[in-house]
Structure 1
Amino acid sequence: MSMAATMDNNVGVAAMGGPTLGNAEFEFLRAFVYEQCGISLGEHKRQLVQGRLVRRLRALKLRDFQAYCDLLRRDPQQELGELASAISTNVTAFFRESHHFDLLADELLPRWINEKKNGGRLRIWSAGCATGEEPYTLAMVLAEALEKHNANGLDAKILATDLSPQALETARKGVYALERLEGVSVERRRRWFLRGEGDYADYVCVNPRLRELVSILPLNLLHDWPMQGPFDAIFCRNVVIYFDKPTKQRLFQRYAGLLPEGGYLFLGHSESMYGLNDSFDLIGRTVYRKRSA
């Protein structure tokens, strides 16, 4: 038996630079994350989970992974957002997968605004909004469409939700490094962002008009949803890649319940609804429209 194998699973191994994630703790975390977040962690994710959660142990001043698991058992919700944020990768950008926003600007928003401007409401949900780039991109496109079609008085809002407290904090602040605007045109940069000064010269803040259009709230997609809908469109991009087939099926069915006939669901470039739900038709690149009953 090797020396490492004879050591306590929870005590740090010097070569690993911190506490070691033992079998019992990893199995608990796998079950906990699947139940609470719908994320399926394979055995090959052990080192990734250990490496990312070591930082949480340090932040919480916990000696080992057993203490961390005990914290989750005592109060699952207290640490859930931080745990989910640590083990998932929040990759996002302004105007990421720009064809989705082109469809909104060129076809969908003009139609919806025309239908609703004499009395109605327009709602878009950014589910899994991460640090806010997606909902603020939606807000730019929406604000421009409202102005173009003389509908600034329309009741139009964007709901942005995520499980990660850190991501939501960034989204609420609406402050981004200038380099994050790579996908934003010069014209839009000038119109929708305020440049920092002095120590903040390399940062921008989103225009207050965009903040007016976006409501940012914490939400676990696997738990109860307080909103009733309906939404004209739901963006859930690069979220379901972490879920197994049964979880995806349940989530897509719930989305279908919040969309009217003809409502739209946008997925990420590596995601598909094929074989998972028969309530939608694929009408474009990862763009789905809810079928008529």
Structure 2
Amino acid sequence: MFSHATWLSSMVVKVAINGYGTIGKRVADAVDAQDDMEIVGVTKTRPSFGCDLAVRKGYPLYCTYDSEEKIAAFGPAGYDCKGGLSDLLSIADIVVDCSPGKVGAQNKDIYDKAGVRWIFQGGEKHAMTGMSYTSSGNHLENMNVRGTRVVSCNTTGLSRTLVPLLHACGSLSVECTMIRRAADPGDSSKGPINAIKPVLKVPSHHGPDVMTIRPEIDINSLAVAVPTTIMHVHAIVATLPKGHGMTTESVLELWSQQPRIVIMNGAETGITTTAEVMEFSRDIGRKWGDLHEIFVWED
């Protein structure tokens, strides 16, 4: 992450986004909303409807590859492609890698050779970056590093609820089951459609990923994918140390003081399933119907 001194010296951080898809378009809008950052370009592998959104928002469009043939393919489709990935990196201070998982090691070599800082997403391994990040768990530890990995949405969610408990109690032992949506809403190529698919490796990556953020948390995790595209659900059992002094009310009060945690009573509000949670998000005007908070049922 950039330190405050770096921001002051460069004034505006020039950000490249490699992969303008489900995650990339959300990152782009978040960066675009900052006064001290500028999007210098986003990449697509080939001409597609996602290019239209980038063009409408005024983001310079680049090709994920440096192949002249692939770059040239954008023109006949009606898009002004500014060049390949190397061209984009040459004008950037930092690249946010939003490409599909498991290609990070290859991309990291490209970024290092270009001399830019980098941020990867949770689809990559902690061992590749040596650092992992959530804003609620280890922000200060990531200051001034060459690059980092933002952990998955599920791991970020776990951190938001568990890290405050860790700080309040000093230690924490957790068993959790991640009930995961099968695919993103716009993804038509994944499943299951009529099955519940368990992650057969125990623990799932979520628990170990939490420990890359806060190794003091003793956590084991299981995961299953279910046929929905709405959102994930966390079923968590947290064992607090003896003499912790916490009550249900004090835990709820602790969470209510944290950023991005919403606590509601399902019986009183009628919000009793993920369908109502997401309808609530759409009703309050959230872009893409996203809910940026962890929704906790008080019941």
The TM-score normalised by the length of structure 2 is: 0.25
Task: Give the structure, 1 or 2, with the largest relative contact order (CA under 8 Å, sep 6 or more).
Answer: 1
Larger fraction in strand: 2
The TM-score normalised by the length of structure 1 is: 0.26
> Which of 1 and 2 has greater Rg?
1
